Amino acid sequence: MRRLWAGAVIVLVALFVIALAVGPVGIPLHDLWASEIVRTVRLPRAALALLVGAALGMSGGALQGVLRNGLAEPYLLGVSGGAAVGAVVATMLGLAGPAVTPVAALIGAAAAVILVLVIARVGGGRGADPRVLIMAGVVVGAFANAAIMVALASAPADTVRGAVWWMMGSVADARWSSIAWLAGYLAVGGVALILWAPEIDALALGDEAAAAIGVDVDRASRRIFLAAATVAAATVAAAGLVGFVGLVVPHIARSGGARAHRAILSASALVGASLVLAADIVARTVRAPADLPLGAITALVGVPFFLSRLRRST
Amino acid sequence: MISVDDLVVRYPQAREPALNGVTLRAERGALTAIVGPNGSGKSTLVRAMIGRVAVERGTVRVDDQDALKLSRRAFARRVAVVTQRDEPVFPILGREYVALGRYAHGSLFRTAQPDDPAVDAAAKRAAVTEFLDRRTDQLSGGEWQRLRIARALAQGGEALVLDEPTTFLDIAHEMALFELLADLARGGLAVLLVSHQLNLVARFAGHVVLLHHGKVAAAGTPSAVMRGSVLESVYEWPLVVTHDPAVGAPMLVPLRR
């Protein structure tokens, strides 16, 4: 177990160094810190990818536990879509900025969570059939996409191009201000989730069992949802829609031996950071100098994984 | 002691209340059983205790404290409940599961640990020590049921409420469980057991409450409650009540129609 943790940290550090060294301009390792390109372009980009991955991993790990559903994750649950609507609305209103966009995204994400849970309750309730909830999430996500398209219909071409790029997820435009805001949300939301992890352990048994053990089920699941949605919404505000990371990562954490949610969430943060860093390295090197959308890369990895999980749950 | 007084519970959108003025007591040092047909309100009563259904009227007390006003954590420290179903959706170790019983004794910064001595003590009492280091998805139905009892025992407290804990158990494990519950009651716990095993209830319980359509149809000693005419009308099935040849307790034999 300890070896796996050490391995995960080593992989993360290695990927981070690779992310700084690799690119159109090759930079030798001993020159990394002196390089202008590294400091202004690659370092913020790698830092953002790392934070986005850690946040999505934790969010997915918490949602899978609370919802007792190995298919749950912020993107498939429509949380990210709702956050995107919030962020787009802020942009349209001319309010967008590193401080305001995350708040707008969070409002959108909260609205989406409520909508998904209401739809899922109509279709069978929390913890019933995992697929009902995912269906509700996909429907809300599709609705969010449509809403964004409608909102963008009359926007200037440049805005549309930027918005579409952003809806596919990207850390290319990493700025220190948005990195700092994301780090702040992740610090608060992540610490909250780690502290509440024993409640997630109990909720993963089912509502009645959790209540019997002494958990205030409704309150606990509400606040864990809110924290998970907050960190996911903050990633959307900073880097757009990056799907499937929250789905894949907790499974990797669990197959590495993490069972209690404190371990699952911590490992998910590490693995998620590595996964998004790796995906971004691929995104900017495979067809360099062109930049592939990060969300497309994670989806290419995530969709086959999702299908294999879905098969197992049917 | 757990006492329920004039409890009324109605599910949303249901015309008839699921519990309609139920009054009962589970004394310390005794095994009290709740029996009744499916849908008579047995599980609803357990759900009301753990706050999973809204109580329309009435009270639940633990000794002299209003249990419905206690926080979930405070209630769990006094009353351990084994609900009908629970299952970790992602497998954990038996030890980690039993340790969840200590949740109510921990706090945000001092959480229950799998190596808590209370975990081993509870496992020993429920005879599940050998399952502690196995994964929950590698246990049989019966082994899992026993592990759940251990989790409840790890909770400590003065009362134990169980909703049909003998599901999935073979005769030997069923008997062992009833023996354990009787033993725990003798040790001073108030044990309140929801069960369909009328014959075992008749042998082990000191007090039986028969529920029917959300009301108490009969209550008292097993021989007072387990009368043919009463059970036949409540279960709507022909039956005779005779006497257990081994121990003399009332014994129910359902007839073929």
Q: How far is CA A85 from CA A45, A81, A230, in A?
A: 24, 6, 15
Domains, chain A, with CATH or none:
2-313 (1.10.3470.10)
Q: How far off is chain B from A18, nearest CA to CA, in Å?
A: 34
Nearest to A15 by CA among A249, A251, A275, A243: A275
User: Does residue A256 sit at the B interface (CB-CB below 8 Å)?
Assistant: no
Phi, psi for A287 (deg, rounded to 5): -125, 40
Question: Please, which residues bridge with residue B19 across strands?
Answer: B9
String of b and e for B112-143 (b: at least 16 CB within 10 Å)?
Answer: bebebebbbebbebbebeebbebebeebeebb
Contacts of B83 in chain A (CB under 8 A): 206, 208-209, 212
Would the pLDDT of A106 be above 80? yes
SS3 B164: coil
Contacts of B47 in chain A (CB under 8 A): 208
Q: How far off is chain A from B62, nearest CA to CA, in Å?
A: 15
Q: What is the pLDDT of residue A305?
A: 85
User: Does residue B220 sit at the A interface (CB-CB below 8 Å)?
Assistant: no
**pLDDT higher at B162 or A303:** B162
Contacts of B112 in chain A (CB under 8 A): 198
Instruction: Locate the domains of chain B by residue range.
Output: 2-63+159-254, 87-157
Residues A217, B93: C-beta atoms closer than 8 Å: no
Predicted model pTM? 0.91
Q: What is the pLDDT of residue A128?
A: 53
In this complex, the residue of A201, A204, A208 whose CB is nearest that of residue B50 is A208
User: Does residue A98 sit at the B interface (CB-CB below 8 Å)?
Assistant: no
Residue A130 banded pLDDT, cuts 50, 70, 90: low
Nearest to A67 by CA among A188, A246, A230: A246
In the 8-state DSSP scheme, what is residue B256? Answer: P
Would the pLDDT of A126 be above 80? no
CA quadruple B4, B6, B12, B17: dihedral sign: positive
The residues, any chain, with a CB within 8 Å of residue B117's CB and separated by 6 or more, are none
Q: What is the mean pLDDT of chain A?
A: 87
d(CA B207, CA B4): 15
Q: What is the pLDDT of residue A313?
A: 59
| CB of B73 closer than 8 Å to CB of B242 | no
How many CB pairs below 8 Å do chains A and B form together? 86
Would the pLDDT of B23 be above 80? yes
CATH 3.40.50.300 fits B2-63+159-254, yes or no: yes
Q: How far off is chain B from A73, nearest CA to CA, in Å?
A: 15
Q: What is the pLDDT of residue A57?
A: 97
Highest mean pLDDT, choosing among A90-94, B29-33, B169-173: B29-33
Contacts of A217 in chain B (CB under 8 A): 52, 72
pLDDT in tens, A176-213: 998 999 999 999 999 999 999 999 999 999 989 999 99
Q: What is the pLDDT of residue A129?
A: 61
Contacts of B45 in chain A (CB under 8 A): none
Residues A211, B106: C-beta atoms closer than 8 Å: no
Q: What is the pLDDT of residue A281?
A: 94
SS3 B176: helix
pLDDT in tens, A136-178: 888 898 998 888 888 888 777 777 776 777 788 889 888 899 8
Q: What is the pLDDT of residue A211?
A: 94
Nearest to A7 by CA among A252, A248, A193: A252
| CB of A242 closer than 8 Å to CB of A52 | yes
Residues A201, B87: C-beta atoms closer than 8 Å: no
Q: What is the pLDDT of residue A71?
A: 85
Amino acid at B78: R
d(CA A139, CA A124): 16
Highest mean pLDDT, choosing among A134-148, A293-307, B93-107: B93-107
CA quadruple B17, B23, B27, B32: dihedral sign: negative
Interface probe for A, chosen from B49, B52, B90, B119 (most Cβ of A below 10 Å), is B90
Residues B137-150 have a mean pLDDT of: 91
Would the pLDDT of A127 be above 50? no
Q: Does ipTM come in above 0.95?
A: no
Q: What percent of chain A has pLDDT over 70?
A: 96
Q: What is the pLDDT of residue A167?
A: 81
In this complex, the residue of B73, B90, B152 whose CB is nearest that of residue A204 is B90
**Which residues between 87 and 106 in chain B have a beta carbon less than 8 angstroms from any beta carbon of chain A?**
87-93, 96, 100-101, 103-104, 106
In this complex, the residue of A69, A205, A260 whose CB is nearest that of residue B87 is A205
Would the pLDDT of A124 be above 70? no
Residues A217, B52: C-beta atoms closer than 8 Å: yes
User: Does residue B82 sit at the A interface (CB-CB below 8 Å)?
Assistant: yes
d(CA A247, CA A106): 20
Q: How far is CA B74 from CA B45, B70, B157, in A?
A: 19, 6, 10
pLDDT in tens, A19-57: 998 887 778 877 777 788 888 889 999 999 999 999 999
Q: What is the pLDDT of residue A314?
A: 47
Residue A101 banded pLDDT, cuts 50, 70, 90: confident
Q: What percent of chain A has pLDDT over 90?
A: 43
Q: How far off is chain A from B86, nearest CA to CA, in Å?
A: 5
Note if the bond before A293 is cis, omega within 30 degrees.
no
Would the pLDDT of A310 be above 80? no
Phi, psi for B229 (deg, rounded to 5): -65, -40
pLDDT in tens, B72-84: 999 999 999 999 8
